[in-house]
Structure 1
C-alpha cells in the first residue's frame, strides 16, 4: 500500500534503477537546488476503488476542495519564494518544492510520503541509487495519526519532518520519532491551557468528547489525569469513525441529560460536524463548549445556524501571526495545465465552477455530459471572497510559514559551515553536493531565530515548539455574523506570574443571564463544614456536613475539620478557634457576692456570739456549758465561715492550699469540740479537759501531711464542659482529701450517735438535744451536698461546696448557741444557778 520504490531484479544488469509504480496524486511542484516536501489535507472526500483482488485496483481520487487549506499550501510556496529572494538567508541557493494532497486519509498520506522520498524522475541514473535525496525535509503531515505512521518510515532515513498541525503529545517521544519536529505546541500544553481556563472559572463538573484517533485519545487521556486533581468528568465519550451515526445519537442524549454545563471537545472540524448538527437540531442550549485547536477557528462551523447552541464557545487556537505580502501573493495565482501542478487547476475549477478544455474532454468521455463552463485562466480572483484569499486570521498558515523558515535556517547553517569546525566526524562539514537528511536533522535541532514579528522560533529537546496559544471566543458582530474573537493568550514560553491572560470584559457567555456559567455537581462547602462524598457517585458530588463542636474548617471545600487546641473552642459558625471562656466563682458576679455577704455575716455573727459569751463568761449558762469549749467552738465556726471565702475568686496556689487547710482544720476542730461537749454531757461534767484531748489535733496532722506530700493546686478543667475552662483547685492527693473528709465525717457520726443517746438525760438544760439537732443538720447538709456537687456544672460546683460549708456552719451556730443567747440576752432570770439546777418554782 505504501511501498516506497520497488526496484526490478534486473537493475544490476540494466545498470539502471527503475521505479515500478507511480501514484496518482494531486500536487504542486517547482524545481530548485534543494527540494522541500509538503503534505496538506486539501480535499475532505475521497473515492475508494473496489478491491476485488482479481485485477489491479484503480487509483484513489480526491474530491471536495478546501480553500482554507489550499491557502496553507500556498503559504509554503510564498515562504520559499521569499527565501529565494533573500540575499542573507541562503544566498545564491534556490529552494524548490513538491507538495501533495493527503485527502485526510492515512493510505493516501502514506502514498504521498512514499512519493516524496522515492523521487519524481522515472529513472535514477546512478547504479547504487545513491546521491542526494529527492527532498531534504518534509513540511507536514497535519494529522497526528498520519504523522505517527509517516515518521516511523522517515526515521529509518533520518529525514526531518516538520509538522504545522500534528499536536499529539505522543509525538514528543524522541525514541520513537527521532526526526519529527513541529511548529504547533504539543497537546500537553493545550490541555494545560484548558485546565487553566477551567480552574480560573471554578468549573469542576465536566463532560469530555474526543475523536477516535491519536490526537483525540492522547489528549483526552492527559485531560482526564489533570482533571482528577481538582474535579470530575460527568461523562467521557468517543466519536468512532466506524459507527459515527450511532455515536452521535448516543452522545447527544448524554449531553442533554448530563448536569455538566461545561463540555470539552478534542476533535477535528470534519469529525465534529455531525455531532454539532445533531446538537443544534435537538435545540440543546446552556452548555459552555471548550474547543480544541482542531475546531476552535473552523469558520465552516462558526456560523449563525449553530450559534444558538454553540455561541460563546471558548477555544484554544494556534497562535495568530501576520505574513506581510501573503495576501497579494495569493491573488497572483494563475493555473497552467501541468500535471505536476494539478492542484492549481483543481483550485481554479472549483473556485469559478468551470473546467479547462483538457479536463472537460476527459469528463465527457467518462460521463457523456457537456453541461459545464469552460475555464480560460483569466478569471478575476480579486473579487472572490473565500477562505483562500482572506489573510486576516493566519494561524495554520503562520505555522507553515515558520516551519519553512526553520528548515531554511537549518539548511543555511549546514551550507555555510566553516571548514574544520564542522559538527561531524573529524570536525568536517556536510558535502553540499551530496547533502543527507541526517545532516540537516542535526542542524534543525539547533534552530533558534527571531522572525519579523519578534517571535522566537526554536525547538525544545522533544522537537516541540514554544507553547503559545490564543484563547478565542465565538461571538456575533454588529452585522449578525459569527466572528472568532481573540480574548486572551496562554504563554508558557517565558517565566511569568501567570501563563493565562484573559480579557474578561471581551468574553461573550451564551446564557440568558450573560453571566459566567456554573458547572459543579455540588456547590462549594462553606467554611465551618466539610465535604462528605456521596456513596456511589464521583468525588465532585458530595454533601456539606457541619463541623462538630470543638472542630473548625476555615477554608471552603475542606475535606476534614480540624480540632481546636485544648484551651480553645470553635465559634458558633465553626470557622475559627476562640479562647475558651474561663469560669470560676468570682467575687464580682451576683452569686459570688451573695455567698461572700452570707459568709461575712456568719463570721460576724459567730464573733458576736463569742463576744456575748466572753462578756457573760461568769454567768451560769456559760459556765455550765464549758466556756473554754464554747470559745474554741465559736472560733472554729468563725474560721468555717471565713474559709468559704477562699473558695471564691480566681484559684491560685496560695488559695488552693489555704481553702482545704482552713476547711479541714476549722471543721475538724469544730466537730471535735462538739464531740467533747457531747461526751461531757454524758460523763456528767467528768470528762477530761479539752486541752488534754488530742482528737482535734488529728485533723491538723492530716492537713500537714497532705499539704506536704501532694498539695492542692489550681487547674483548668475541660472534662465536663467542652466550651468552657473551669478554673478550679485540684485536690492533689485524693487519699489525703479523703482522709480529711473521712475524719470529719467520723467525728460527726460519733458525735451524732452519742448526742442522740444522751438527748433524754434528766437535766434541766440538756445540751445533748441541741447537739443532736446540730449534727442532724450537719449530716443532712453534707449528705445532700454529694449529689448536688457532682451534678452541678462549672462554677456552680464551687458554689454548692460553699453553700454546704455555710449551711452546716449556720446549722451548728444556731442549733447550739441560739438557745443560750436567748437565755443570756432575753431571759436573764433563767441565767442563774438555781434555775439551771431546777430549783426555781414555775410562775403561776
Structure 2
C-alpha cells in the first residue's frame, strides 16, 4: 500500500484517519474529493494495477507548531514521532498534499524537502512558497498569484471601477498583497481610495477589539467607496466576517459594498455563514480556480451514509449540517434520521458539485497516480523527474463567479451577462467623482489622487465625444462642433445658389435688366433713322448696348456652385466686357469734344472725327484689358477652392482669384477708364451742341465710380456667398446706371415724345 497524506487547515474529529476537532463544515468536501479520487484510482485497472493507493489526513490547525508536529508524524513511526527511526510497519509515503494556506505548505516543505518527499499544494496562490526557489520537491496545482492580480484589474476595468478600497489583515501577507496590487492598479489608471486593515481575532473576548470592529463597520457604512478588493485568505476572511456580524449586532448602518474577493474564499465550505446573513455578500464577485464537473461525484455525495463506520467524519458533519443529533447522543435537539438530503442544503453552505479547491485535490491525486505509474514503468529511471513533469504546468485560468442568494447552487450558476446587471439593478459606480460626460474634459485636482478630477467644458471649437476624456479635440476641417460640444456635424456648403432666395433674386434682376437692355436696343434699331439715334455715332451706341447686355448676363456666371470653367470666365469676361462698355462711353465723350472743336474755323480736328477714331478707342482700350486677363489666366488663374475656416459652420465654395494683384489690376484699369470718361464728360457737359450727351455721361460715370468705390470695402468685409452677391450687385448697379442715365432720356423722347425727334425741333429746343 502506497500512502498519500493530506494536511487540511480545518478541524476534523479524531478517528482512524488521525484527525481531530469538532467542526466539519470547513473543508469537508475537500476530504470527500480526496476519498473519491483515491477510490477511482484504485478501481481503475489501467493505473497502478498491482498497487493500492491509501491516504492519511492530518490537521494543521492553521498553526505552525501543529504543522511541524504533524509533518514529523508523516516521516516517523506509526505511533511515535521519532524522525529517521523505522520500526514495525513501514509507511510507504510517496507524496503529501497540503495545505489550503500557503504558510502551511511552507512549513511542511522545510521538513519534507530534507527527505525529498514530494509535496503538492492546492492553495490559490502561495507567494511565501513560490519565493523559495530551493524547494525543488514542492509543486503547485493552482495558478500563480500574478494571474489573479491581472484578473482583478481586468474585472475592475470592465465595470469602470476606478475608485476602490482594499481590505486586508494587518500582517506581512496583507502588506504584500497591498503592495503588489497597488502597482498593478496604478499602471491601469485605478486609484486606491482607502485601505482597511483588520486585526486577526477569533471571537468577542477582547472588548477593545469589538470597539475597533464597530468603528471600522461605521467607517465602511459611511464611506463613498462602493467597491472593495478583499484578499480573502483565512485571516482577512475571519476579520471581515466578524466585522459584518458585529456591525449588525451594534445596529450599524448596512454595509452595502461590492466585495471583489480572491480565490482563497470558498463560500460553500464556511460554517460561519450559519451565523451570518449571506445577504451581506449579495452581489459580491469572487475569483475561483478553474474547475470542471467530475462525473460520478454528485452521485457519490447522494450515496453518503451517515451511519457508515468507515467514515469517521460524516456523523459530526451530518449533525452540524442539519442541526440534529443521533440517538446515541443526549440532546434537546431533534434527532437525525439519516434520511436528510444533502441536496436540500443551501449552496452557500454545501455544494453538491466539486468546488475549485476540491477539484485541485482531485487533480493532485491523479497527478501523483499517473506519475507513480510512469515511474514504475521499466524504461523510467528518474521517477522524481517524471512526477515533476506531471506537476510543473499549473493551470493559469481563473473563473469569475457571482455569489448568488441563499439558495444558489452550481447547477443554476448565473451567466456572465446576468450578473453584469446585478440582478437587474444598476451596476454600482466606483469613481472618485462622477463621470465627465461628452462635451467636458477631465482636469486634475491639485493635491489629490490622479483618479480625482473636475469636469471642465470644452473650449470653443473643440469637442469630446466620449466619457471621461482627458482632452478635448478639434473636429475635422469639414465639420464643426454642435452646441453641446459633444459631436461633430458636417459643414454645409456655402455658395450663391440658384435655389436660394438671394440667388433667385439676383438672377431675376439680371434677366430683367438684360430684357430692358434688349428692349432699348430694339427701340434704337426700329428708330435708327431718327436724329437721336444717329447722333453721337450710331455704331458706338449699338456697341454700348450690346456690351451692357453682356454685362447683365455675365453676372449669371457668379451664381451656382463654382467650377473651373466658371471661375476662369467670371472675372475675365466681366473685365473685358465692362472695358468695352466704358471705352464706348469714353469714345462717345471724346466724339462730342472733337465735334465741337472741329466746328471752329481752320480747325485741324476734322480729320479725327469719324468712325475710325471711335472704333480705335474701343478696340485699343478693350485690347489692353484683354491682355491683362490673358496674362492672368496664363500665370496664376482663378480656381475652385474650399474655404474651411472663414465660417465656423459652413464650407465656403468659392473661386480663389489666384493672383490678387491681377484681379485688382483688372478692377483698377476699369476704374481708370471710368475716371477718364467722367473727367472728360464733366468738362464737356456745357459745350453748345444740339446732340451733346456729356451731361448724361457725367451722371452715368458718377454712378459707376460710386458703385465700384463702395464695392472694394464691401468685398473685403464680407464672406462666402455674400462676397459674390456684392460683386453681382455692383455689376448690375453700375451697368444699370449707364443704361439709365444715357438711354432713358433718349427712349423717353423716341417713345413718348416722337414729335421732338427731329433735327429742327432739337435745334429750336436747344436755342
- Is residue 142 of structure 1 aligned with residue 100 of structure 2? yes
- Is residue 691 of structure 1 aligned with residue 615 of structure 2? yes
The equivalent residue for 2:273 is 302
Q: What is the deviation of 1:466? A: 6.1
Aligned match for 1:256, one of 216, 221, 235: 221
CA distance in 1, matches of 2:436, 2:259: 26
Aligned match for 1:519, one of 429, 451, 454: 429
CA distance in 1, matches of 2:358, 2:573: 100
CA distance in 1, matches of 2:519, 2:310: 132
The equivalent residue for 1:290 is 260
- Is residue 67 of structure 1 aligned with residue 24 of structure 2? yes
Decide which moves more: 797-806 or 672-681. Answer: 672-681
The equivalent residue for 2:193 is 234
CA distance in 1, matches of 2:398, 2:442: 40
SS of corresponding position for 1:67: coil
Q: For 1:246-645, list aligned pairs within 5 A.
A: 248=213, 251-267=216-232, 268=234, 269-280=237-248, 281=250, 282-297=252-267, 298-303=269-274, 305-307=276-278, 309-317=280-288, 319=291, 322=297, 325=300, 328=304, 332=308, 392=352, 395=355, 396-415=357-376, 417-418=377-378, 421-424=379-382, 439-440=383-384, 442-447=385-390, 459-461=391-393, 464-465=394-395, 467=397, 469=399, 471-477=401-407, 488=413, 501-502=415-416, 504=418, 509=423, 515-521=425-431, 529=439, 531-536=441-446, 564-569=475-480, 579-645=490-556
Q: What is the deviation of 1:241? A: 4.3
CA distance in 2, matches of 1:781, 1:304: 98
TM-score for both structures, normalised by structure 2: 0.77
SS of corresponding position for 1:755: helix
CA distance in 1, matches of 2:637, 2:735: 25
Which ranges of structure 1 fall in alignment gaps of 5 or more residues? Answer: 1-32, 45-61, 337-342, 352-372, 425-438, 448-458, 478-482, 490-500
Are the counterparts in 1 of residues 480 and 488 from structure 2 also a CA contact under 8 Å? yes
Aligned pair in 2 of structure 1 residues 655, 86: CA closer, same or farther (>3 Å)? Answer: closer
Are the counterparts in 2 of residues 587 and 648 from structure 1 also a CA contact under 8 Å? yes
Aligned pair in 2 of structure 1 residues 334, 391: CA closer, same or farther (>3 Å)? Answer: farther
Q: What is the deviation of 1:775? A: 1.7
Decide which moves more: 805-814 or 85-94. Answer: 85-94
Are the counterparts in 2 of residues 207 and 260 from structure 1 also a CA contact under 8 Å? yes
Q: What is the deviation of 1:805? A: 0.4
SS of corresponding position for 2:512: helix
Q: What is the deviation of 1:587? A: 2.6
Are the counterparts in 1 of residues 117 and 137 from structure 2 also a CA contact under 8 Å? yes
SS of corresponding position for 1:475: coil
Decide which moves more: 319-328 or 593-602. Answer: 319-328
CA distance in 1, matches of 2:557, 2:110: 94
Aligned pair in 2 of structure 1 residues 662, 82: CA closer, same or farther (>3 Å)? Answer: closer
Aligned pair in 2 of structure 1 residues 116, 607: CA closer, same or farther (>3 Å)? Answer: same
SS of corresponding position for 1:821: helix
SS of corresponding position for 1:68: coil
CA distance in 1, matches of 2:396, 2:510: 87
CA distance in 2, matches of 1:330, 1:470: 34
Q: For 1:22-37, list aligned pairs within 5 A.
A: 33-37=1-5
Q: What is the deviation of 1:692? A: 2.8
CA distance in 2, matches of 1:249, 1:787: 81
SS of corresponding position for 1:446: helix
The equivalent residue for 1:745 is 671
Are the counterparts in 2 of residues 139 and 161 from structure 1 also a CA contact under 8 Å? yes
Are the counterparts in 2 of residues 524 and 557 from structure 1 also a CA contact under 8 Å? yes
Are the counterparts in 2 of residues 834 and 840 from structure 1 also a CA contact under 8 Å? no
CA distance in 2, matches of 1:277, 1:832: 124
Aligned match for 2:7, one of 31, 35, 39: 39
CA distance in 2, matches of 1:325, 1:658: 97
Aligned match for 1:775, one of 690, 701, 707: 701
Are the counterparts in 2 of residues 248 and 278 from structure 1 also a CA contact under 8 Å? yes
CA distance in 1, matches of 2:622, 2:679: 18
RMSD: 4.6
CA distance in 1, matches of 2:364, 2:518: 111
The equivalent residue for 1:820 is 746
CA distance in 2, matches of 1:163, 1:183: 6
The equivalent residue for 1:207 is 165
Are the counterparts in 2 of residues 141 and 166 from structure 1 also a CA contact under 8 Å? no
Whose helix fraction is larger, Structure 1's or Structure 2's? 2
CA distance in 1, matches of 2:26, 2:662: 99
SS of corresponding position for 2:646: coil
Aligned pair in 2 of structure 1 residues 826, 90: CA closer, same or farther (>3 Å)? Answer: closer
Q: What is the deviation of 1:202? A: 5.4
Q: What is the deviation of 1:762? A: 5.0
Aligned length: 705
1:517-537 per-residue CA deviation (whole Å, 9 max, x = no partner) reads 4224256666x5464244245
SS of corresponding position for 1:625: coil
1:318-345 per-residue CA deviation (whole Å, 9 max, x = no partner) reads 6476376577477545899xxxxxx999
The equivalent residue for 1:660 is 571
CA distance in 2, matches of 1:769, 1:737: 31
Q: What is the deviation of 1:804? A: 0.8
TM-score for both structures, normalised by structure 1: 0.71
